């Protein structure tokens, strides 16, 4: 089937599915749950509450086939230049492969280098934890301040929050915002003699990261002997010379075929490898590698990342639903929505196809979320009764804490998915009011306010416990999902030019500020705002 024909069938079946109710599809298709659920790398995905009919589900699979998802997947794992605007391979799977793998980037062998960097990371992490690697005055490191932004911050931060012990041996804090308050909060209560600063920047030119690194350097310099400063300052970068010139005593490298938002598997997460312990970090890598194996080997119809991607494409392009909420029912996963905002929206928020022609369909939806049950008391009102239909994704952990009863948490997640699908009719709402003792008039008046239209889709992703392996599998699942969507939309998921323009203009505005005021060619609104802010 040609790609054009696949899209036509997709559109037709989507229009038909839009006229049906999800709950009715279970009766029409007794095999629905089995067909639309899958187990992969310790995760269980249930997509049976999505809006697709059996015919629409099959049309989505045909679209994936016609879009050459399998061939493009092979190109990614082969290290071809899938990031075509920058001429780069995209090889985050190489970073979590078992030692001795054989990945190539544009024909160059890279696995030996990955293994060597990983061995260096392990040795350094073990040395810091044992006290063999100590600070300028010989005292053990008790805290790490991780300085980065974007992919150099969000990935390690979600890993730390998800896996940190309640009483960590090494305190790990993160600084991303250029607002000095962020650094001040991170440094409060820390002792420079026992604090390690890890500066993460791919290019070592990122404005926010360098400004924060300078602040951290000044804080250390005020208390430490100059000759020992470098013991406290570590760089993680693809530009080690720049890191060394900045004052980093040691650097850990990663290559330009590691995109920022895909880099948590690399030395970017050195801080986590130290603070969590190297065994924990390696277990997370193993979980991600297991998801890689599934993604490469499973057929389209039982491939977890592909099915998750197709559900999103179906909602966005088939049913015009330009937003999706992610609700992790585990406090430790509270930063997952923020991580996914960057992963998905920076990857697939694109306006042109790979050949540079404008897109004619929607691409990435707006992604937002909060952990359950917090979100239920905030934006869930809108997703249940608002006029827009917002697909929901529930990430559910059966056992989040050793001593806590779990059913109140995951029962809420199951109830939300059920309520979104079933809804409540006006008749049922009126009968409920009467049963509560309301008068006929009052029950009738309130019934429409208590009506839920239902027929709103959701996906459930389940895991038994939030182990390092499960976390690795979950994050890799979303990475591959994002890639598949880009293939189907025929866009480049691996550049981020939209991030650059604002950075360039910010530098120009700073020049104007340093010069004493707005330049003549600045627009009237921006000039007026600058003038007011300068006082």
Token pair of 468 as six digits? 């390092």
Active-site residue (options: 346, 370, 393, 469): 346
- Per-residue pLDDT band for 503 (boundaries 50, 70, 90) equals confident
User: What is the model's pLDDT at position 205?
Assistant: 87
pLDDT in tens, 517-526: 999 999 999 9
8 A C-beta contact, residue 359 and residue 353: yes
Region 481-507 average pLDDT: 94
Whole-number mean pLDDT of the chain?
96
Q: For residue range 436-454, list pLDDT tens digits in order.
A: 999 999 999 999 999 999 9
Helix/strand/coil (H, E, C) string of 261-305? HHCCCCHHHHHHHHHHCHHHHHHHHHHHHHHHHHHHHCCHHHCHH
Using a pLDDT cut of 70, give the percent of the chain over it. 99
Q: How far is CA 174 from CA 145, 155, 249, in A?
A: 6, 11, 20
* pLDDT, tens digit, 9 for 90 and up, residues 201-225: 988 988 899 999 999 999 999 999 9
So what's the pLDDT on residue 411?
94
For residue range 340-365, list pLDDT tens digits in order: 999 999 999 999 999 999 999 999 99
pLDDT value of position 408 = 85
Residue 320, phi-psi category: left (phi > 0), alpha (psi -120 to 50), beta (remainder): left
62 backbone dihedrals φ, ψ, rounded to 5°: -65, -35
Q: Which of 377, 449, 507, 511 is catalytic?
A: 377
Q: Select which of 8, 108, 185, 503 is catalytic.
A: 503
Q: Round to whole Å and give the CA distance between 235 and 259.
A: 17
Residues 249, 255, 158, CA angle at the centre, nearest 5°?
A: 80
Asked if residue 406 has pLDDT above 80, the reply is no
Rounded to 5°, angle at Cα 209 from 247 and 151: 120
The pLDDT confidence band at residue 402, using thresholds 50, 70 and 90, is confident
**Does pLDDT of 405 surpass 80?**
no
> What pLDDT score does 404 carry?
66
Strands (E), 160-224: 171-175, 195-200
* Least confident piece of the model among 5-9, 251-255, 448-452: 251-255
CB environment 27-59: b (16+ within 10 A), e (fewer): eebeebeebbbbebbbbebbbbbbbbbbebbeb
Is-catalytic flag, 503?
yes
State both tokens at 75.
């190109």
Mean pLDDT of 256-272: 95
Structure confidence at residue 19 (pLDDT): 96
CA distance 480 to 455: 28
> In the numeric block, which tokens belong to residue 266?
């690399």
Mean pLDDT of 144-164: 97
Q: Is the pLDDT of residue 227 over 80?
A: yes
Contact status, residue 152 vs residue 201, Cβ threshold 8 Å: yes
Q: 344 an active-site residue? A: no
pLDDT at residue 338, as a whole number: 97
Give the per-residue pLDDT at 407: 78
- pLDDT, tens digit (0-9, with 9 covering 90-100), for 50-91: 999 999 999 999 999 999 999 999 999 999 999 999 999 999
Q: pLDDT class for 403, splitting at 50, 70, 90?
A: confident
**377 is an active site residue:** yes
Question: 449: left (phi > 0), else alpha (psi -120 to 50), else beta?
Answer: alpha
Average pLDDT of the residues in 99-111: 97
8 A C-beta contact, residue 274 and residue 144: yes
Distance of alpha carbon 375 from alpha carbon 476, whole angstroms? 25
Tokens representing 82? 């899938």
Q: Give, in order, the Cα–Cα distances in Å from 156 to each of 17, 258, 284, 296.
A: 40, 15, 12, 25
Average pLDDT of the residues in 400-408: 75
pLDDT, tens digit, 9 for 90 and up, residues 12-47? 999 999 999 999 999 999 999 999 999 999 999 999
């Amino acid at each position: 089937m040609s790609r054009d024909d696949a899209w036509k069938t997709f559109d037709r079946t989507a229009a038909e599915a839009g006229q049906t109710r999800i709950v009715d599809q279970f009766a029409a298709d007794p095999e629905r749950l089995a067909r639309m659920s899958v187990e992969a790398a310790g995760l269980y995905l249930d997509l049976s509450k999505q809006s697709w009919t059996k015919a629409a589900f099959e049309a989505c699979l045909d679209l994936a086939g016609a879009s050459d998802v399998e061939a493009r997947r092979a190109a990614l794992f082969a290290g071809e230049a899938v990031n075509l605007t920058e001429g780069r391979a995209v090889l985050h799977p190489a970073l979590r492969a078992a030692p001795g793998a054989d990945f190539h980037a544009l024909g160059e062998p890279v696995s030996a280098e990955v293994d060597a960097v990983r061995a260096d990371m392990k040795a350094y992490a073990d040395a810091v934890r044992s006290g063999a690697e100590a600070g300028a005055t010989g005292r053990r490191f008790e805290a790490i301040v991780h300085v980065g932004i974007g992919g150099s911050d969000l990935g390690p931060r979600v890993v730390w929050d998800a896996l940190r012990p309640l009483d960590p041996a090494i305190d790990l804090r993160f600084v991303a915002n250029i607002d000095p308050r962020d650094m001040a909060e991170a440094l409060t209560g820390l002792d420079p003699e026992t604090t390690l600063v890890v500066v993460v920047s791919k290019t070592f030119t990122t404005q926010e990261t360098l400004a924060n690194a300078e602040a951290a350097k000044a804080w250390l310099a005020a208390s430490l002997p100059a000759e020992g400063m470098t013991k406290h300052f570590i760089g993680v970068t693809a530009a080690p010379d720049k890191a060394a010139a900045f004052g980093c005593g040691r650097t850990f490298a990663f290559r330009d075929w590691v995109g920022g938002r895909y880099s948590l598997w690399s030395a970017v997460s050195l801080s986590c490898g130290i603070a969590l312990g190297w065994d924990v970090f390696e277990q997370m890598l193993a979980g991600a590698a297991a998801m890689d194996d599934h993604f490469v080997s499973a057929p389209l119809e039982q491939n977890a990342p592909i099915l998750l991607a197709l559900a999103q494409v179906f909602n966005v392009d088939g049913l015009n639903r330009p937003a999706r909420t992610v609700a992790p029912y585990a406090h430790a996963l509270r930063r997952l929505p923020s991580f996914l905002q960057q992963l998905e929206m920076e990857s697939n928020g694109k306006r042109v196809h790979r050949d540079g022609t404008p897109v004619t369909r929607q691409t990435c939806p707006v992604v937002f979320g909060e952990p359950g049950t917090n979100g239920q008391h905030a934006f869930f009102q809108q997703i249940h009764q608002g006029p827009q239909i917002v697909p929901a994704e529930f990430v559910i952990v059966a056992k989040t804490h050793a001593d806590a009863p779990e059913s109140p948490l995951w029962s809420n997640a199951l109830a939300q998915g059920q309520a979104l699908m079933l809804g409540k009719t006006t008749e049922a709402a009126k009968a409920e009011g009467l049963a509560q003792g309301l008068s006929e008039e009052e029950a009738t008046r309130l019934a429409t306010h208590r009506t839920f239209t239902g027929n709103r889709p959701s996906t459930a992703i389940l895991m038994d416990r939030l182990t390092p392996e499960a976390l690795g599998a979950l994050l890799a699942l979303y990475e591959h999902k994002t890639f598949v969507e880009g293939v189907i939309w025929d866009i480049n998921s691996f550049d981020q030019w939209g991030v650059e323009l604002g950075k360039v203009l910010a530098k120009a505005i700073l020049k104007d500020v340093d010069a004493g005021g707005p330049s003549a060619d600045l627009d009237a609104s921006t000039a007026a705002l600058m003038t007011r802010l300068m006082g």
